[in-house]
Chains A and B, each alone.
Chain A
């Protein structure tokens, strides 16, 4: 007679991890298709979109401003020894602009928005899930993806896109004034370095295209982990942690791939 030992049903830890990973990837795919369907049909709550744009976008301006201004300054400080050694003051604008527009502004803005908006979005949706507010929406015949998720996803994408434009400008401003302060490079020389043909609209578009992809990553993962929350307050904490880590990792991986694809 065969005896049930009770150990056969225990999955191998590795296969359990793979199953969890695939489940997250599948969940992200399903949620993305649901969001895109509603976005294309314009079947989402406009008032919620505006409310989220205000609290996600407008209220992020101070942190984006500080980050961008100091980032521009830091780039000039790092470049200072080389610029001084080779007397390449005329290239300072190009160097700062190239790195800022294509890479630094979209990347750092995404990380800041991930920490401030993505984490907050997951915490809100997670709390709504564990306190049955999402179920209450369903019970009231309201589609949570149209009412809650799609406006938040779109708000994050729009916020990151606009914040990156703002960040580009402020980082260059910070770089110009740091150049004047630390290297004695006239802001006019810095500006000519930016605009004499070495940099083009393609460099701006490169960074902005990345910001849209990063916005999709942060919006999707923050909504997914929020809605997948279980286990009360500790569960909300776990979901926020998962969002921040997954979004940051996703941003870096996609940045790498996009840098190849768009070059």
Chain B
């Protein structure tokens, strides 16, 4: 369970204002909204990478803002995260990038790590890419390696920031289907930020929409499709005319 209460954050201007969000266990939650509406910021607050000015962040029953460094480190072992820019480590090969969380956080033998890396690469359609360097990959391939790294530790909570950005429509749908299958198999709680609404909404259980730092809608995927709020309706249906 992930719960955000009264979250506010300002830099030179307010970027999040009184955000209240609840994501139940084992839910695949889609977070949508125009650029710079605060979606990625919320993901960073859930992992404790950024602190809000006000409010409370509760993840799996733990108040994230009260955790010390060691507790926060332990807490993050239960979270997988894909960053918007993939954040692959340049100086490591693809195989080392994907194996990194397993090598650092779990006591597994190298044979098991290699098998799990190969299995992950197969799932994201990059078999045999273990020895390649991130610099030699296309944008879409980097994204898929990022997905493999975020899911290899089978964390109970996984956060995806634009998991399909830069991918062609077919690969994009494959990735969303893969992430959905992973989420169901692991019983994970997932928050997915994506601009690819056509595909995102085929896999989500619930959807929230951010606009100008506020959560203006929260409901089931079906409710999002039929929302009466003209802003949500326009955004979900990609209409040009409307209040946005």
- Residues in chain A within 8 A of chain B (CB atoms): 127-128, 131-133, 135-136, 138-143
- B83 contacts A128, CB within 8 Å? no
Residues of B within 8 A of A140 (CB): 76, 81, 100-101, 104-105
Smallest Cβ-Cβ distance to B88: which chain A residue: A133
18 A-B contact pairs sorted by A residue (CB < 8 Å) = A128-B90, A131-B87, A133-B90, A135-B83, A135-B87, A136-B83, A138-B47, A138-B49, A138-B76, A139-B79, A139-B81, A139-B83, A140-B101, A140-B105, A141-B75, A141-B76, A141-B77, A142-B104
Mask, B73-97, CB within 8 Å of A = 1, is 1111101010111011110000000
Binary per-residue interface labels of chain B (51-78) against chain A in the complex, 1 for a CB within 8 Å, 0 otherwise: 0000000000000000001000111110
Given contacts A138-B49, A139-B76, A140-B76, 4 further A-B contacts (CB under 8 A): A128-B90, A133-B89, A136-B87, A140-B105
CB B100 to nearest CB in A, in angstroms, measures 7
Cβ contacts under 8 Å, B76 to chain A: 138-141
Interface of B is mostly: mixed
Q: Which residues of B contact A142 (CB under 8 A)?
A: 104
Which of A127, A132, A141 sits near B83, CB closer than 8 Å?
A132
On whether the beta carbons of B77 and A132 are closer than 8 Å, the reply is no
Taking Cβ atoms with an 8 Å cutoff, the residues of B that contact A are 44, 47, 49, 69, 73-77, 79, 81, 83-85, 87-90, 100-101, 104-105
Nearest opposing residue in chain A for B44, CB measure: A135
Which chain B residue lies CB-closest to A143?
B73
Cα-based distance from A140 to B49 in the complex (angstroms): 11
A129 to chain B, nearest CB (A): 11
Chain B: minimal CB distance from A37 (Å)? 11
CB distance from A146 to the nearest CB of B (A): 10
CB pair B84 A141 closer than 8 Å: no
Cβ-neighbour of A139 out of B47, B84, B85, B89 (below 8 A):
B47
A residues in contact with B44, CB < 8 Å? 135
The CA-CA distance from A136 to B47 in the complex, in Å, is 11
| Structural contact, A141 and B88, CB atoms closer than 8 A | no
A136 vs B100: C-alpha distance in the bound complex, in angstroms?
11
Are A136 and B74 in contact (CB-based, < 8 A)?
A: no
The answer, among A133, A141, A143, for a CB contact under 8 Å with B87, is A133
Contact B49–A139 (Cβ < 8 Å): yes
| Cα A138 to Cα B105 with chains together (Å) | 12
Report the Cα distance A143→B90, complex, angstroms: 18
Q: Within 8 Å CB of A131, what residues of B?
A: 85, 87
Pairwise interchain contact A132-B85, C-beta atoms closer than 8 A: yes
Task: Kindly state the separation between the CA atoms of A127 and B101 in the bound complex, as whole angstroms.
Answer: 21
Nearest chain-B residue to A51 (Cβ)?
B91
